[in-house]
A and B are shown apart, each in its own frame.
Chain A
Amino acid sequence: MIGERWINLAVPLALLAVPLYALMADEPFTITLATRATILALAAVGLNIALGIGGLVSLGHAVFFGLGGYAMGILAFHAQNYSPLEIGPLTFAGTKSMPVIWLVAVIVSAMAALLIGALSLRTSGVYFIMITLAFGQMFYYFAISWSAYGGEDGLSIYVRNGFPGLNTLVPIQFFAVCFVVLCLALALNAMLRASPFGLALNAARQVPQRVETVGLNPMRLKLMAFVISGAITGLAGALFADLNRFVSPSMFSWQLSGELIILIVIGGVGRLMGPVVGACLFVALEHWLGGLTDFWHVWLGVVLLGIVLFARGGVVGLLTGKAGPHV
């Protein structure tokens, strides 16, 4: 059995090694795959705060992923058309700067998470799952019917947005940006877990009645977790849109929400590296199985069933031989 500390060290190094190898072997597509895995991992790291520590089974996290994506899409769209963005009486210029786009993505997703969380957390259990799912659909259909930004067809951005001092069009440089953001999010996650807030949130998942009787409000703790979680997933959405140079309503789709949960469960719920391991395996499976057969989702389904029924701790659980948090 391997200690979780070693996994926490080895996994990011392995993720870093793949594109470096690909760079030497001159396989730019592999770098893009690694970037895709990194961004999906970031989205799942966000979800893992709500799901793994807070126990909130959100089947609507695509909302934040999509909002991040559209924050990028809309700002870059106005920048490439040289048209101003008008919100009521306010007028903004579009932008092609990643840091600005990220800031907007994080703020917008956090605000949406605050609203959706405040409504959804009035309920619990299976109601919470269904309501978050329904909010996802609400944004999905809104994006489809909002023709000003492409409606069903989505928005294409011709040139990847820029980061000061880097050429983001070079795959390895864009990977580096995403990888650093992922590492920061993982550090944030590790910090949260060990903090007073993390302790209280972890207890609110397991025994909310106990948290109340020591004078703390479990609902507010969960809402805070939901907001932080949504903000990180939103940031991942902005990066994902930049990777594809394209946003569409499918970023809001409920399949995406489901896939984010799948990533976490494959890797290990509530484990620091669970989302990263899960995202890498998912992208690898998607690539290899997708190359072998058009119907690779059948096999993904079978693998998933196997994990749910027989290997609850996911890959990290199997490697460490220890059960993870119970959600």
Chain B
Amino acid sequence: MSLVLIAEQVLNGLQFGVMLFLMAAGLTLIFGVMGLINLAHGSLYMVGAFAAAAVAGATGSFLLALVAALAAAALAGAIVEMVVIRRLYAAPHLDQVLATFALILIFSEGTRWVFGSFPLYLDIPDWLSGPVTLPGGIAYPLYRLALIGVGLAVAAGLWWLTARTRLGIQIRAGENDREMVAALGVDISRLYTLVFALGAGLAGLAGALVGAIQSVQVGMGEPVLILAFVVIVIGGIGSIKGAFIGALLVGLTDTLGGIFLPELFKLFMEPGAATQTGSALASMAIYILMSLVLVWRPSGLFGARA
């Protein structure tokens, strides 16, 4: 096993991690500010991917497709927030789970109705395809490198938004004391719609970006959604910083575990059994990571409340 391979896998893990962060950031923000558990976040990811595939198919422009993904997911998010989610803020978690599960059913089957059951494909544009050679002679796909860049840029942007802007102050205040913020004249329901749409937009963007390296299909959102849940449970619900660290941990554990665990087991098992055991364990690695974090800190690495 060469260093180049290891470096490549670390980059893959980072790329996976930052895309998870785009999903997890919205989830954690929505839970932190509104106290809502949103299972339909994966549907918004799917909406973004489908919007991107449709626009890219019609116009041929990848950038337009990304804009469309962001806009479509944010719009879908805003509508869903105003029609359904708004009634759930004060509701028990069970109601939130069920109503957002119902939204998944509606979104998934609705999308199948419109686009059919066959996967769509979103192509990487020419100017982002092909490998680049990194220092140390590592050839790595430019597109994946770009994904890491976008993810880091969004993380920096979110940090700036929450720490430095008026909206961020309102968001943080809203987490602490809803009535107080309302009393200060902030339109709380508009703030909530905005935060929800922001989270949705990020999920849609992630869907489009990942859609170009995988296929765009109904049900693509839920596996990512669950990984994003693992991320925010590890990071601590409500914490953007926790979501970022958690996303990178999960991305790296999943990617590196899949490569190295079978190799590790080959050291003391016969190859067939080692591959079997190693890959079975690797598929569970992030959940084991999550359990360990929880045994150590029940409210996550950076979580304030349980």
Q: How far is the CA of A126 from the CA of B96 in the complex (A)?
A: 10
Q: Chain B contacts of A59 at CB under 8 A?
A: 97
A129 partner residues in chain B, CB cutoff 8 A: 37, 93, 97
* A297 and B295 contact, Cβ closer than 8 Å, known pairs A141-B284, A142-B280, A304-B101: no
For the residues of A in contact with B, the DSSP-based class is helix
Scan B107-133; emit 1 where CB is below 8 A from any A CB, else 0.
011101100000000000000000000
Whether the Cβ atoms of A119 and B276 lie closer than 8 Å is: no
Cα distance A142–B233 when bound, in Å? 21
CB within 8 Å for A119 and B294 given contacts A125-B306, A126-B31, A261-B98? yes
Q: Which of B66-74, B190-198, B222-230 contacts A (4 or more CB under 8 A)?
A: B222-230
Other than the given A258-B39, A296-B109, 20 more pairs (CB < 8 A) read A119-B294, A123-B298, A125-B306, A126-B237, A127-B233, A129-B93, A141-B283, A142-B280, A144-B283, A145-B283, A254-B222, A258-B97, A258-B101, A262-B101, A265-B98, A298-B109, A298-B110, A301-B103, A301-B104, A308-B91
Number of interface residues of A (CB under 8 A): 48
A326 at the interface (CB under 8 A from B): yes
Assess the A123–B294 pair: CB atoms within 8 A.
yes
| A204 at the binding interface (Cβ < 8 Å) | no
Give the complex CA separation of A308 and B96 in angstroms: 9
Are the C-beta atoms of A309 and B87 separated by less than 8 Å? yes
Query: Are A122 and B102 in contact, with the CB atoms below 8 A?
Result: no
Question: Hey, which chain A residues are within 8 Å of B31, CB to CB?
Answer: 126
- Within 174-191 of A, Cβ neighbours of B (below 8 Å) are at none
- A254-B222, A308-B99 are known contacts. Are A123 and B306 too (CB-CB below 8 A)? yes
Q: Which 8 A-B pairs have the closest CB atoms?
A: A301-B105, A138-B287, A141-B283, A304-B102, A301-B106, A301-B102, A298-B109, A297-B109
Determine if B279 is an interface residue (Cβ-Cβ < 8 Å): yes
Whether a CB of chain B sits under 8 angstroms from the CB of A323 is: no
Say how far A14's CB is from chain B's closest CB, in angstroms: 25
B residues in contact with A269, CB < 8 Å: 94
CB proximity to A under 8 Å, residues B20-43? 31, 37, 39
Residue B56 CB within 8 A of the other chain? no
CB of B47 closer than 8 Å to a CB of A: no
Q: Which residues of A contact B91 (CB under 8 A)?
A: 308
Interchain CA distance A269-B94 in the complex, whole Å? 10
Residues in A whose Cβ lies below 8 Å from that of B101: 258, 261-262, 304
Once the chains are docked, how many angstroms separate the CA of A308 from the CA of B104? 14
Say whether A57 faces chain B, with CB atoms less than 8 Å apart: yes
Tell me if A30 counts as interface (CB < 8 A to partner B).
no
The answer to whether residues A119 and B226 also contact, given A138-B284, A145-B280, A146-B280 and a CB cut-off of 8 A, is no
Q: Does A124 contact B (CB under 8 A)?
A: yes
Most chain A Cβ neighbours within 10 Å, of B95, B103, B232: B95
A-B contact pairs, 29 of them (CB 8 A): A119-B291, A125-B93, A125-B306, A126-B31, A126-B37, A126-B237, A127-B294, A127-B300, A130-B37, A133-B229, A137-B223, A142-B280, A142-B284, A145-B283, A146-B276, A261-B101, A262-B98, A295-B109, A295-B110, A301-B103, A302-B106, A304-B101, A304-B105, A305-B106, A308-B98, A308-B99, A309-B84, A309-B87, A327-B92
**Which of A126, A262, A295 is within 8 Å of B93, CB to CB?**
A126
Does the CB pair A133–B290 fall under 8 Å? no
CB of B283 within 8 A of CB of A297, answer no
Chain B residues whose C-beta falls within 8 Å of the C-beta of A122 in the assembled complex: 294-295, 298
Q: Are B294 and A131 in contact (CB under 8 A)?
A: yes
- B98 near A304 with CB under 8 A, answer yes
A246 neighbours in B (Cβ, 8 Å): none
Nearest residue (CB) in A for B35 is A126
Cβ contact within 8 Å between A134 and B290:
yes
* Residue B162 CB within 8 A of the other chain: no
The answer to the question of B299 belonging to the interface, with a C-beta cut-off of 8 Å to chain A, is: yes
How far does the alpha carbon of A138 sit from the alpha carbon of B95 in the complex, in Å?
A: 25
A129 to chain B, nearest CB (A): 6
Q: Are A298 and B113 in contact (CB under 8 A)?
A: yes
Docked Cα-Cα span, A122 to B101, in Å, equals 25
Hey, what's the 0/1 contact readout for B76-88 against A, CB within 8 Å counting as 1? 0000000010010
Contacts of A195 in B (CB 8 A): none
Given that A261-B97, A304-B101 are contacting pairs, would A295 and B113 also be in contact in the complex, using a CB cutoff of 8 Å? yes
Which residues does chain A contribute within 8 Å of B95, judged by CB atoms? Answer: 308, 312
Residues of A close to B109: CB separation below 8 A: 295-298, 301
Query: Looking at B97, B103, B299, which has the most chain A CB atoms within 10 Å of its CB?
Result: B97
**What residues of A have a CB within 8 angstroms of the CB of B300 in the complex?**
127
Contacts of A146 in B (CB 8 A): 276, 280
Q: In whole angstroms, how far apart are the Cα atoms of A154 and B232 in the complex? A: 32
- Cα–Cα distance between A133 and B101 once the two chains are bound (Å): 13
Compute how far the CA of A11 lies from the CA of B230 in the bound complex, rounded to whole angstroms.
40
Would B280 and A297 count as touching, CB distance under 8 A?
A: no
A167 CB within 8 Å of chain B? no
Given contacts A59-B97, A326-B92, whether A127 and B298 have CB atoms under 8 Å apart is yes
Contact between B226 and A131 (Cβ–Cβ < 8 Å)?
no
Chain B residues with Cβ under 8 A from A111's Cβ?
none
Q: Mark B262-292, 1 if CB is under 8 A from A, else 0.
A: 0000000000000010011011100110110
Are A134 and B93 interface neighbours, CB within 8 A?
Answer: no
Counting CB contacts under 8 A, is A135 at the interface?
yes
Contacts of B280 in A (CB 8 A): 142, 145-146
